Chains A and B, each alone.
Chain A
Amino acid sequence: MSSDVAFPAAHPHASMPHEAPRVIRVSHLGKQYQLGARARYRTLREALVESVVGVARSIGRGGTRRAPERFWALDDVSFDVAQGDVVGIIGRNGSGKSTLLKILSRIVEPTRGTVDLEGRVGSLLEVGTGFHPDLTGRENVFLSGAILGMRRTEIEKKFDEIVEFAEVDRFIDTQVKHYSSGMYMRLAFSVAAHLEPDILVVDEVLAVGDAAFQKKCLGKMGTVARHGRTVLFVSHNMGAVVSLCSRALLLDAGRLVLESDPITVAARYQATLTAAPTVTSDLSGAEHYGSGKARFVSLRFVPERRDGTTREMMCPGSRLRVETRIVCSAPVDSANVGITIYDASGYRLVDANTAMQGRFVSLNPGDEARVDFALDDLRLKPGTYLVGLWMGRGNVEDIDGILYAATLEVEPDPQQLQHSEQFPGSYLCAFKHSVVISTPAADVARPGVHEEPGQRSAAGASR
């Protein structure tokens, strides 16, 4: 069943030594995003101001207006899946896994290429899609079932099974806002697990609940797979991929890099994890703005442990060292050098600069300088962030700036994968906190208290 294919698959339909009909045919699929486009729900005023400012800039500087930066979240991906195949999709955050699943689930439209699907597709990109906190467990089973594409008669038939699997029968007529997070997740997963489409598309849902429930979910997935259903699933859990999947795809930067048996792919993935974070970004091709008296030439991220030793990946709580190299061509007097970390929608999250530390950089033509920043205790959730660089003097001049110099990947801490519960929704910041609970007994019908690191900007020292 395994087939080693070089990347990117030139002949998408050539590598299928399989008799079963192909139920998914993906060919030359691409999805382009505009940087910051996910935050495009700007106001009309912003839209107007931007266009006015843009025109003014191009007149004032006589330069060209900066074109919106685009990137391919998914780039020329082709593969086939045969009926009954269980295919794992692996890749680092931002490699295009979720985009691929979203296209297959018809949530977003591709920019290029086609997908042919045969059969009913059920997608499970989140646990608890459509759950409403004010409704009871029973009501939510029906609502969520309908949203996931089940017929009412089908839900009625499976209702007892769903409740039993979730182990919440005593609370089925309680509003789910009174559930503990574990109960909530179990019920939500249980509804989804009883979905019976021909093709099931699953994103990372196995990372929910306690270890025992995870095991149960894996079991359920195995049963689904053995019933000849086609499954595509994205996971960071290599154990699950290896034990469940018959094939796996490795995505990197939107491209299909490897399509093979799960063990080979998992090994390759681990290798990319260890290699990637300290890669140096060459900034010569980046889009610079500013006077250009001095320029950033490279940028490097080095994840470190608290004691300053290098670690292999950036996780929440890591220490992040950002090393920048600057080359000077005209005299620079007391410039401020700064970095900014944005989230994927372009919101500025972290700002660190030398002026904050009372330090400024002066350079003479021909000088090569290094400015390193150390961010202690990186409180960013796992995900993809963008890093921008700037050098200049207050509101006086921009010497060199790069809006998006590099992407920063924060990976989930492997040691915490088992225990961290993923809560639906998102938050912008959270603080280190402790909790004191004093009750006569453990109260199960209350949302659990959770400690989860959030984000906090931390500016480190500069040299």
Chain B
Amino acid sequence: MTHTSIRPHTLRIEPTRGWVALRLGEVVAYRELLYFLVWRDLKVRYKQTILGVAWAVLQPLLTMLVFALFFGRLARVPSDGVPYPLFAYTALVPWTFFATGLTLASNSLVGSANLITKVYFPRLTIPLATVLAGLVDFALAFPVLFGLMWWHGVTPTAQVVWLPVFIALAFATALGVGLWLSALNVEFRDVRHVVPFLTQLWMFATPIAYPSSLLPERWRTLYALNPMVGVVEGFRWALLGTETRPGPMILVSGVAALALLIGGAFFFRRMERTFADVV
């Protein structure tokens, strides 16, 4: 028998109670697993589909067409001086990322029950990987967005450099809500019935089909507690140069998103200890 003299650090397993540390360092240590989980999601998502990744583009595009017809043409909803199709599509791109990320993330833990009950790794990687994989679809929707802008003769201004900030905000929101819902879904399967309903309501509470300038000024800050308000208005401002400059609204959205994310992460860690027992 060979006896290695290296004594690695001792790992202690013991019962934990209440709120616990996030241990994000461990998630970083498992980054290769994160990479493989994202890669698996991407590989598998469009297997055995005829249109494949085209779905990533078709979903927001078809929604935009419906909106343009009913809200833009028939209801004549104002669009901050931007052609309505472009107005709606600019909002639908981050919205689709958010809604898909949220839906998939909320089901991610239950869908990975076989992993959770058989092998250890930081559970945070599961919803994180799901939302990260959504970024690829998100990126695929951009060329169409730029095509639409070109078609309508809209050139982005220097404000476009702020776009990554709004992408990060959308990501934080999707992950934040995803963490809450995925952890809740382990215990209460009601979540899967709530999610479609929630995304639908949330969509109406977000200025996608209409501009937030429809709301009276004094309500807008409250309205911006929905972080997706900040994301959508930010996208329009950065890409189309609409009036909604980053101001209190976007600040409020940013704070709300961060609160969702941090709260979600701690809640997730708190629930995590019973995942394998309950899932």
Number of interface residues of A (CB under 8 A): 57
B8 touches A119 (CB 8 A): yes
B118 touches A107 (CB 8 A): yes
Q: Please indicate the chain A residues that have their CB under 8 angstroms from the CB of B11 in the complex.
A: 116-118, 121
Q: A117-B10, A146-B33 are in contact. Are A110 and B278 (CB under 8 A)?
A: no
A134 touches B44 (CB 8 A): yes
Complex-state Cα separation, A83 to B2, whole angstroms = 9
- Least Cβ distance of B270 to chain A in Å? 12
Is B19 an interface residue when CB atoms closer than 8 A count as contact? no
B1 touches A198 (CB 8 A): no
B277 touches A37 (CB 8 A): yes
Contact-residue size bin, chain B (C-beta under 8 Å from the other chain): 35 or more
Q: A41-B278, A118-B10, A198-B8 are in contact. Are A125 and B119 (CB under 8 A)?
A: yes
Q: Please indicate the chain B residues that have their CB under 8 angstroms from the CB of A148 in the complex.
A: 119
Query: CB within 8 Å of B: which of A101-144?
Result: 102-121, 123, 125-126, 129-130, 132, 134-135, 139, 142-143
B33 touches A147 (CB 8 A): yes
Q: Please indicate the chain A residues that have their CB under 8 angstroms from the CB of B14 in the complex.
A: 110, 113-115
A115 touches B13 (CB 8 A): yes
Complex-state Cα separation, A139 to B7, whole angstroms = 34
Is B202 an interface residue when CB atoms closer than 8 A count as contact? no
Q: Which of A111, A115, A147, A151 contacts B12, CB < 8 Å?
A: A115
Among B57-65, B163-171, B183-191, B216-224, the stretch that binds chain A is B183-191
Q: Please indicate the chain B residues that have their CB under 8 angstroms from the CB of A125 in the complex.
A: 118-119
Q: Which of B32, B40, B119 is most buried by chain A, counting CB atoms within 10 A of its CB?
A: B119
Q: Please indicate the chain B residues that have their CB under 8 angstroms from the CB of A42 in the complex.
A: 188-189
Q: Please indicate the chain A residues that have their CB under 8 angstroms from the CB of B273 in the complex.
A: 109
Closest A residue by C-beta to B8: A119
Q: Please indicate the chain B residues that have their CB under 8 angstroms from the CB of A33 in the complex.
A: 277
Q: Which of B4, B40, B116, B119 contacts A132, CB < 8 Å?
A: B40
Is B23 an interface residue when CB atoms closer than 8 A count as contact? no
Is A227 an interface residue when CB atoms closer than 8 A count as contact? yes
Q: Which of B32, B117, B188, B189 contacts A152, CB < 8 Å?
A: B32
Is B142 an interface residue when CB atoms closer than 8 A count as contact? no
A118 touches B15 (CB 8 A): no
Q: Which of B114, B186, B274 contacts A129, CB < 8 Å?
A: B114
Is B255 an interface residue when CB atoms closer than 8 A count as contact? no
B187 touches A41 (CB 8 A): yes
Is B121 an interface residue when CB atoms closer than 8 A count as contact? yes
A-B contact sample (14 more), CB < 8 A, given A106-B13, A129-B118: A20-B1, A41-B187, A45-B190, A83-B4, A107-B118, A107-B276, A114-B13, A117-B12, A118-B8, A126-B118, A132-B44, A143-B36, A146-B36, A227-B2
Which 3 residue pairs spanning A and B have beta carbons closest together?
A: A106-B120, A146-B36, A115-B13
User: Can you identify 23 A-B contacts, CB atoms within 8 angstroms?
Assistant: A21-B7, A33-B277, A38-B277, A41-B278, A43-B190, A44-B190, A45-B190, A107-B118, A107-B120, A109-B16, A109-B273, A109-B274, A111-B15, A113-B15, A115-B14, A116-B12, A118-B8, A121-B120, A129-B115, A130-B114, A132-B44, A146-B33, A146-B36
Q: Which residues of B contact A (CB under 8 A)?
A: 1-4, 7-16, 32-33, 35-36, 39-40, 43-44, 47-48, 114-121, 186-190, 273-274, 276-279
